[in-house]
């Protein structure tokens, strides 16, 4: 089998911009120049008394998705994040959910493998240099375990696996 490169455009993240109401998932992308899921593994290294070498184990993950975007009013995701910034939202007021969709994997009946994830949004910075477009930097902090399922881009719906 020939290997095929996975393009960044084949990994989509949709953010619920109406938490606490009827969910409205909008694509994170307009104005976004970088976004990488950092899994941040937390490891433990132990050296047992009967061994000369250490043992390292992954105990858990603390994923984050830092985002840098050009501020673009009218973009649903920017408007939502900017609202969090203006209100200095914290705790549950800064929580929503996202759906990560793996478009590089085979679709079944028009739906792609995906994960729905509870998240907390931290706004890191806003502004920029004179004469340039403003940037907003924020971090999407994952909360708990993801729900695995399928995402249908035609209907904009997520269905959890049974």
Contact 146, 122 (CB under 8 A): no
Residue with tokens 């493998």: 113
- pTM, two decimals, is 0.92
Mean pLDDT for 18-25 is: 93
Name which of 63, 64, 154 is nearest 112 in CA terms: 154
Helix (H, G, I), strand (E, B) or coil at 94: helix
pLDDT in tens, 142-157: 999 999 999 999 998 9
Q: In the chain, what are the domains?
A: 8-160 (2.40.30)
Q: Output the average pLDDT for the chain.
A: 95
Contact 93, 121 (CB under 8 A): no
Asked if residue 120 has pLDDT above 90, the reply is yes
- pLDDT value of position 1: 77
Q: Which residues contact 54 (CB under 8 A, 6 or more apart)?
A: 45, 46, 47
- How far is it, in rounded angstroms, from Cα 145 to Cα 76? 26
Phi, psi of 30 (to 5 degrees): -65, 115
- pLDDT value of position 22: 92
Mean pLDDT for 24-52 is: 94
pLDDT in tens, 43-70: 999 999 999 999 999 999 999 999 999 9
CB atoms within 10 A of CB 7: 9
């Amino acid at each position: 089998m020939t290997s095929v490169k996975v393009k960044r455009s084949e990994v989509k993240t949709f953010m619920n911009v109406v938490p606490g109401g009827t969910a409205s998932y909008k694509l994170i992308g307009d104005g976004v120049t970088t976004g990488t899921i950092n899994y941040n593994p937390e490891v433990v290294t132990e050296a047992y008394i009967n061994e000369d070498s250490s043992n390292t184990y992954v105990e858990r993950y603390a994923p984050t998705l830092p985002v840098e975007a050009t501020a673009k009013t009218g973009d649903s995701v920017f408007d939502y994040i900017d609202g969090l910034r203006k209100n200095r939202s914290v705790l549950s007021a800064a929580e929503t959910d996202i759906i990560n969709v793996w478009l590089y994997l085979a679709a079944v009946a028009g739906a792609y493998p995906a994960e729905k994830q509870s998240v907390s949004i931290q706004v890191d910075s806003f502004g920029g240099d004179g004469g340039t477009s403003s940037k907003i930097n924020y971090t999407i902090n994952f909360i708990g375990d993801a729900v695995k399922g399928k995402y249908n881009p035609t209907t904009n719906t997520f269905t959890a696996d049974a």
